[in-house]
């Protein structure tokens, strides 16, 4: 559970001047432009590391914004292909209008999927807060009727996730499994970190039992050790899993996984709408958030 200090820091962060947030979040964000993300993706590839790119932004309030993000994703898919980079993109559906009108969001995703399929690009739908889960899974299921090159994320902290694995089993999804980053009530989500980890492993096994490929997205070293035990015990090869980490987090752990021969993908966020993402990353890491506040008070 977060300490009182952590909670205080998290509450104070929105008052921190934007330039300071930008400075401390810079390791987690490639930059504002596609070229910044492209450079990092190319560098990672030299080290045998895969990548997925994400355009920063979420929860649009008008349709025009959603259409602008749709165009930006179409351009991203074409640019990855043109430069011969990893053809892999992660998308938050609230940027494409999910919370305005789910049919409109589906139309935007259909355009993106048509372009992705023609380029051989893999699309992964990120999972947002629990108010979006049903509609996100509905869009995933609808798109799967025509496209195979699309994956989805489940969050180990949600009570419902094990049922979602059962409901989705007929689709043999390509999953990402993460703990879940949004603040959720105890009604909806497990709060105890130990229990979240237990559920993570149970869900992971259920995903593998149903034949799915899983992107295991965590930087938790102890959890990763347990996942490695499962991979060994099940004799799984790289066709069944990869590890996934966020840009700028736990580079040492990332390098040791690669040295051991595990497939690994880095999530590279970029774009002009970096502020909300940065606040989430900083809230998650009170050590860094503490530096931000200290710098602020020192001027
Ligand atoms: C590739 C990827 C994609 C993701 N996609 C989603 C998604 O679609 N939906 C969603 O809800 N969540 C997503 N997440 C976030 C995830 O749910 C967790 O909130 C986040 O990864 C932290 O949990 P953890 O498993 O790393 O474990 P934790 O126990 O939180 O962290 C383990 C250790 O990692 C380090 N660490 C973790 N985060 C940071 C950080 N930001 N800065 C510095 N150090 C850090 C710390 O040392 C910490 O002790 C994603 C995460 C990854 C890696």
Residue extents of the structural domains in the chain:
1-29+274-299, 30-273
Kindly tell me if the per-residue pLDDT of 251 is higher than 80.
yes
Measure the CA angle with vertex 96, ends 101 and 203; round to 5°.
95
Which is the closest atom of ligand 1 to the Cα of 126? Answer: 8
Q: In this predicted model, what pLDDT tens digit does every residue of 124-134 receive, in sequence order?
A: 999 999 999 99
Q: In this predicted model, what pLDDT tens digit does every residue of 45-93 receive, in sequence order?
A: 999 999 999 999 878 999 999 999 999 999 999 999 999 999 999 999 9
Q: In this predicted model, what pLDDT tens digit does every residue of 167-186 receive, in sequence order?
A: 999 999 999 999 998 889 99
Kindly tell me if the per-residue pLDDT of 246 is higher than 70.
yes
By alpha-carbon position, which residue is closest to atom 33 of ligand 1? 220
278 vs 203, more confident = 203
For the chain, report the end-to-end CA distance as a whole number of angstroms.
31
Mean pLDDT of 264-287: 83
Kindly tell me if the per-residue pLDDT of 195 is higher than 70.
yes
Please say whether the dihedral angle defined by the alpha carbons of residues 217, 267, 17 and 57, taken in this order, is positive or negative. Answer: negative
pLDDT grade, residue 299 (50/70/90)?
very low
| Ligand 1 centroid from CA 284, angstroms | 8
pLDDT at 228: 98
| Ligand 1 centroid from CA 111, angstroms | 30
pLDDT at 290: 62
Cβ-based neighbours of 192, under 8 Å, separated by 6 or more:
1
pLDDT at 1: 46
Task: Verify whether residue 54 is a known catalytic residue.
Answer: no
Task: Verify whether residue 176 is a known catalytic residue.
Answer: yes
Pick the CATH number of 30-273 from 3.40.50.2300, 3.40.50.170, 3.30.420.40, 3.20.20.220: 3.20.20.220
Q: For residue 18, which of 239, 297, 207, 292 has the smallest C-alpha distance?
A: 292
């Amino acid at each position: 559970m977060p300490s009182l200090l952590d909670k205080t820091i998290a509450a104070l962060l929105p008052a921190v001047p934007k330039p300071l947030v930008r400075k401390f979040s810079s390791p987690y964000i490639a930059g504002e432009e596609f070229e910044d993300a492209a450079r990092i993706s190319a560098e990672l590839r030299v080290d045998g590391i895969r990548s997925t790119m994400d355009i920063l932004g979420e929860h649009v309030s008008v349709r025009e914004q959603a259409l602008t993000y749709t165009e930006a994703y179409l351009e991203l898919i074409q640019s990855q292909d043109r430069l011969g980079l990893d053809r892999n993109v992660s998308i938050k559906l609230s940027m494409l209008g999910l919370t305005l009108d789910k049919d409109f969001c589906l139309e935007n995703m259909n355009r993106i999927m048509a372009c992705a399929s023609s380029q051989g690009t893999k699309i992964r739908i990120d999972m947002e807060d629990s108010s979006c889960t049903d509609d996100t899974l509905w869009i995933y299921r609808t798109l799967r009727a025509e496209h195979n090159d699309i994956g989805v994320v489940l969050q180990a902290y949600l009570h419902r996730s094990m049922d979602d694995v059962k409901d989705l089993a007929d689709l043999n999804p390509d999953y990402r499994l993460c703990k879940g980053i949004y603040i959720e009530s105890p009604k909806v989500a497990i709060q105890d970190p130990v229990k979240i980890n237990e559920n993570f492993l149970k869900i992971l096994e259920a995903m593998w039992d149903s034949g799915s490929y899983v992107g295991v997205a965590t930087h938790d070293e102890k959890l990763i050790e347990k996942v490695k035990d499962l991979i060994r015990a099940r004799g799984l090869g790289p066709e069944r899993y990869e590890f996934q980490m966020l840009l700028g987090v736990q580079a040492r752990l990332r390098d040791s996984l690669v040295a051991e021969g595990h497939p690994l993908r880095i999530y590279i966020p970029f774009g002009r709408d970096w502020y909300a993402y940065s606040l989430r990353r900083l809230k998650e890491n009170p050590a860094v958030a503490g530096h931000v506040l200290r710098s602020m008070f020192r001027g």
